[in-house]
Amino acid sequence: MSKELISKINQYIPMNRILEQEPMKLHTTFRVGGPAKLFLRVESEAELQQILALMKTEGEDYYLIGNGSNLLISDKGYDGVMIQLSKGFADVKVDGRRLYCEAGATLSAIARVALEHSLTGFEFAAGIPGSLGGAIVMNAGAYGGEMKQVVEAVRLMDAEGNIIEKSCEEMHFGYRHSILKEASYIVLGATIRLEAGEHAKIKEQMDALASQRREKQPLEYPSAGSTFKRPEGYFAGKLIQDAGLRGFQVGGAQVSEKHCGFVINKEQATASEIFNLIQEVRQRVANEFGVTLETEVICLGEF
Ligand SMILES: Cc1cc2nc3c(=O)[nH]c(=O)nc-3n(C[C@H](O)[C@H](O)[C@H](O)COP(=O)(O)OP(=O)(O)OC[C@H]3O[C@@H](n4cnc5c(N)ncnc54)[C@H](O)[C@@H]3O)c2cc1C
């Protein structure tokens, strides 16, 4: 690792937020992933602008990570600079029915603020273990709700460090999709528009969805949630189950016995084992039913 690059970065951010050869398994909910060349915790828009400018002049690749709850990072790691918007990006401000949220705020923290202010519409997201940034990129959703329904506007930074705002329509949200899947903008924050509701009812709904998750999902194991997108006209979990793959294992990676739509890290799996299991499941489901499963989980690095 070039000490020169580190000292250039250190002009803008302190050394305790510049981590060298940081194991990505510490930052992903799958608990796998080799080292990132550098891992930076960025705490302000000004810092981010300076880092992006530096990445450009140095010709370094970078990648934004939120809570790492939808990422499968290779055992070989990421040969570039991993950027996380950390503590300085966790603010949630309330103004009437609007929440101004920064990208590093977790969905559960935003849901807590909505509940405190008796605002309804965000209950669906309370149990999704992601950050606002990751949820906007993915148009995260559950139980009939999705980010598209509540996002009014998104504050973004482009690769040149320009700050722009896009409306919900301009984000082209679709099923687990937004324009950010193709364009390299960084989410800085978003305005979420909710409705006035009743505290008790909101709490009841959040508790009900949380217990539904605990009952149906293998939350006791590391995973990245649903591994596959829902194929048109089918349910991924049902296809996998019908292909006889419940409990199917490659090394320490397993198709969850509790919910076949989840690939879990059952016992100290490597990223390669998880990746190979996913490929095998796709192949067998394609052979059996002629349906192509697309991953919802994003694979990063060399497999
Ligand atoms: C147990 C469990 C249950 C889950 N349940 C659901 C569910 O019900 N519904 C659902 O939709 N998902 C679910 N997920 C998946 C995951 O939580 C969501 O996709 C979440 O939105 C990802 O957010 P993140 O911050 O973890 O993003 P990450 O996994 O860190 O990143 C995801 C993508 O977003 C990009 N990204 C992250 N932050 C930024 C930013 N600030 N700017 C630009 N790009 C950024 C990354 O580069 C990456 O491409 C579940 C996951 C787990 C582990």
pLDDT in tens, 62-103: 999 999 999 999 999 999 999 999 889 999 999 999 999 999
Q: Are residues 195 and 108 in the same domain?
A: yes
pLDDT tens digit sequence for 257-300: 999 999 999 999 999 999 999 999 999 999 999 999 999 999 99
Give the domain-ending residue among 87, 109, 137.
87
Q: Tell whether the model's pLDDT for residue 120 goes beyond 60.
A: yes
Share of the chain above pLDDT 70, in %: 100
* Residue 86: per-residue pLDDT: 87
The 3-state DSSP class for residue 39 equals strand
Residue 145's DSSP bridge partners are 142
Residue 173, in any domain of the structure: yes
The 3-state DSSP class for residue 17 equals helix
pLDDT tens digit sequence for 220-233: 999 999 999 999 99
Instruction: Report how far Cα 233 is from the mean position of its chain's Cα atoms.
Output: 25
* Residue 52: per-residue pLDDT: 97
**Number of structural domains in the chain:** 3
| Residue 130 exposure: Cα atoms within 13 Å on the Cβ side | 25
Backbone angles phi, psi at 110, to 5 degrees: -65, -40
| Residue 116 known to be catalytic | no
Atom of ligand 1 nearest to the CA of 85: 41
Mark 172-211 as b/e (b = at least 16 C-beta within 10 Å). bbeebbbbbeeeebbbbbbbbbbeebeeeebeebbeebee
Are 131 and 23 in contact by the 8 Å Cβ rule? The answer is no
| Residue 184 known to be catalytic | no
Q: Tell whether the model's pLDDT for residue 188 goes beyond 80.
A: yes
pLDDT band per the 50, 70, 90 thresholds, residue 31: very high
**Nearest CA owner, ligand 1 atom 52:** 225
Are 103 and 89 in contact by the 8 Å Cβ rule? The answer is yes
Sequence-ordered list of residues with C-beta below 8 angstroms from that of 217, at least 6 positions apart, any chain: 225, 258, 259, 262
Instruction: Report how far Cα 248 is from the mean position of its chain's Cα atoms.
Output: 25
| Residue 74 known to be catalytic | no
**Nearest CA owner, ligand 1 atom 14:** 225
State both tokens at 208: 């009900």
Give residue ranges with CB within 6 A of ligand 1. 29, 63-71, 85, 103, 128-131, 133-135, 137-138, 140-142, 180, 186-187, 217, 219, 223-225, 298
Q: Are residues 240 and 293 in the same domain?
A: yes
Range of the domain at 71: 3-87
Q: Tell whether the model's pLDDT for residue 245 goes beyond 60.
A: yes
Residue with tokens 């739509």: 261
Mutate to test the pocket of ligand 1, among 25, 41, 128 (most ligand atoms within 8 A of CB): 128
pLDDT band per the 50, 70, 90 thresholds, residue 1: low
How far apart CA 147 and CA 235 sit, in angstroms, is: 21
Residue 38, in any domain of the structure: yes
What angle (nearest 5°) sits at the alpha carbon of residue 23, between those of residues 2 and 3?
10
Cα(105) to centroid(ligand 1), Å? 12
pLDDT tens digit sequence for 203-215: 999 999 999 999 9
Mean pLDDT score, 121-136: 98
Q: Are residues 139 and 162 in the same domain?
A: yes
Give the domain-ending residue among 153, 170, 201.
201
Instruction: Report how far Cα 251 is from the mean position of its chain's Cα atoms.
Output: 25
The chain-wide mean pLDDT, for the chain, equals 97
Mean pLDDT score, 164-176: 97
Mean pLDDT score, 105-116: 98
What global pTM score does this model have? 0.97
Nearest to residue 36, comparing CAs of 28, 46, 44? 28
Q: Are residues 180 and 277 in the same domain?
A: no
Q: Are residues 146 and 62 in the same domain?
A: no
Give the domain-ending residue among 87, 120, 150.
87
* Residue 44: per-residue pLDDT: 97
* Residue 25: per-residue pLDDT: 98
